[in-house]
């Protein structure tokens, strides 16, 4: 999710800074962002969905294993 990294509270002080911030938000909301075409298809077959999830799980496990290996190697140096 694009907004998941916005987890901090912040305070804006000063009338000019507040106006500048609000104007930036309004410009962002009104910006004409072109749609991007993507190559994708919706999966509806439970077997296909399971295969995809198993691939994702395998990739995640491989990443975690390589991270553990990297940490062990760094600890040995």
pTM above 0.85, yes or no: no
Helices H / strands E in the chain, number of each: 2, 0
Res. 9 pLDDT band, cuts 50 70 90: confident
pLDDT tens digits for 16-69? Answer: 999 999 999 999 888 888 888 989 989 999 999 999 999 999 999 888 989 888
The predicted pLDDT at position 20 comes to: 93
**Cα torsion for 27, 30, 31, 36, to the nearest 10°?**
150
Domain positions in the chain are 2-31+43-76
Q: Is 6 helix (H, G, I), strand (E, B) or coil?
A: coil
Residue 3 has pLDDT above 80, yes or no: no
């Amino acid at each position: 999710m694009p907004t998941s990294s916005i987890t901090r509270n912040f305070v804006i002080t000063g009338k000019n800074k507040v106006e500048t911030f609000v104007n930036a938000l309004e410009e962002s909301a009104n910006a004409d962002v072109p749609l991007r075409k993507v190559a994708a298809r919706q999966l509806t077959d439970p077997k296909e969905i399971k295969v995809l999830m198993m691939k994702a799980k395998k990739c995640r496990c491989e990443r975690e294993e390589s991270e553990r290996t990297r940490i062990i190697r760094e600890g040995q140096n």
